[in-house]
Amino acid sequence: MSNSNYYEILGLPKHTTDAEIKKAYRKLSLKFHPDKNPGDQYFEDWSKKINEAFAILGNPASRAAYDQQFETHSFKDQFYPRPGQYASSATATETAEEKAPPPKPQPSAAEQLVLRQVKDMVPDYLRLKGEYLLAKKEFELVKKKQAPAIFTKQQLLIGSGIAILAIAGLIYASIAATTRAPKVIMEPLPTPEWKKKA
Amino acid sequence: MLLVFLCIAILAGLLIYGLLTYNDHKNVRQRYFAELKMAENRLAAARKDFELLDKPLQGLISKQFGNRMAENVKTETISTGMPSELLLVSWGEPAQVSYATDEMNKEVWYYDPFTTPEKETAYRTEITIEQNRVSTWKDRN
């Protein structure tokens, strides 16, 4: 019996029912069937692991024996094994194989599949994320510039000042024309000398 | 009379200057709004493309690792035990990686490079990966 955690391989908790084991096995077998991905070593390996797990867990007798070993070795911290944990909890009846260092962490098949899918998506994801962030930055830069005003504040101040002065000048000129213009007195012209003699 | 002509000339000058400036600035404003519209369209297209991949990816992560992990990946928060693939999604490719060929498959991923006063390249964050999972990290001040 290998050191693999068959429950982890099938992505199931330890206290699962036989029906759930069968269901998980069928589901994973379909997903990892080598015929679906011919020549892919990854799928072949996982297919073997799934079959091996089901061969043990699918049979109540072999499952009970495996559970006994499972209890002894306590796989619960498999992902973060502490040094010596397995050696200290091992029974005296262990074989040489069982005394070997704890197995490397084996994420469940479903988890492995998801991580593989994620890994395949990462290059495109990062490229699109980069493009999106760049576009966002560009948009914010353009927005930050703000629409230029038709007239600046300075232009408006100077222009209105000059206009007020010009209008004031016009008003002054019109007032001056009516009130300060010199009066013209119309007097009769003096009689010429030749006319007086006559 | 001279004053009247002078005032009328000033007002006419102001009017002409105003009209010319208005026309000129109107073109500048039109160019600005066209640029803004283009940037907005580029952003919308980039967001659409990104979401096409982001949504299924987040769904995949959420389904397998839970909503909390998916949220951490989205908000670029790392946690102990996070698979290295999710770290890649969250933080992107590291600037530098160093490998230690031991049983633990230990790797150190370096992020945020900067140049020290001694003209050497250093990294602000170091993340240790053991067996394809984040184990520890260190921030440099």
Percent of chain A residues topping a pLDDT of 70: 74
Judge contact between B13 and B20, C-beta under 8 A: no
B60 with A114: Cβ contact below 8 A: yes
Mutation to test the B interface, candidates A139, A143, A144, A164, most B Cβ within 10 Å: A139
Dist. CA A119–CA B89, nearest whole Å: 8
User: pTM above 0.90?
Assistant: no
Please tell me if residue B88 touches chain A, with a CB cutoff of 8 Å. Answer: yes
Residues of A in contact with B14 (CB under 8 A): 159, 162-163, 166
Q: A102 in helix, strand or coil?
A: coil
Dist. CA A107–CA A112, nearest whole Å: 6
Q: Closest by alpha carbon to B72, among B57, B93, B86?
A: B86
Residues of B in contact with A170 (CB under 8 A): 3-4, 7-8
Q: Closest by alpha carbon to B64, among B97, B29, B89, B42?
A: B89
B50 with A139: Cβ contact below 8 A: no
Dist. CA B64–CA A141, nearest whole Å: 38
Mutation to test the B interface, candidates A152, A170, A172, A175, most B Cβ within 10 Å: A170
CA dihedral B90, B92, B96, B98 (to 10 degrees): 50
A104 with B131: Cβ contact below 8 A: yes
Report the topology of domain A1-153.
Answer: Helix Hairpins (1.10.287)
Phi, psi of B132 (to 5 degrees): 65, 20
Nearest to A131 among B46, B57, B85 (CB): B46
A138, containing H or E segment: helix A109-145
Where in chain A are the domains? 1-153
User: What digits encode the pLDDT tens for the residues B32-51?
Assistant: 899 999 999 999 999 999 99
Which residue, chain included where needed, has tokens 């000058």? Answer: B13
Distance, in angstroms, between A139 CA and closest chain B CA?
Answer: 5
ipTM of the complex: 0.77
Between residues A1 and A140, the one the model is more confident about: A140
Q: What is the end-to-end Cα distance of chain B in Å, rounded?
A: 78
Judge contact between A43 and A88, C-beta under 8 A: no
- Enter the DSSP assignment of A189: P
Mutation to test the A interface, candidates B2, B19, B20, B25, most A Cβ within 10 Å: B25
User: What digits encode the pLDDT tens for the residues A19-78?
Assistant: 888 888 887 877 777 776 677 777 777 788 888 888 888 888 888 877 776 654 444 333
Confidence tier at A84 by pLDDT (50, 70, 90):
very low
Q: A107 in helix, strand or coil?
A: coil
What per-residue string of b and e applies to A62-78 under the rule 16 or more CB within 10 Å gives b? Answer: ebeebbeebeebebeeb
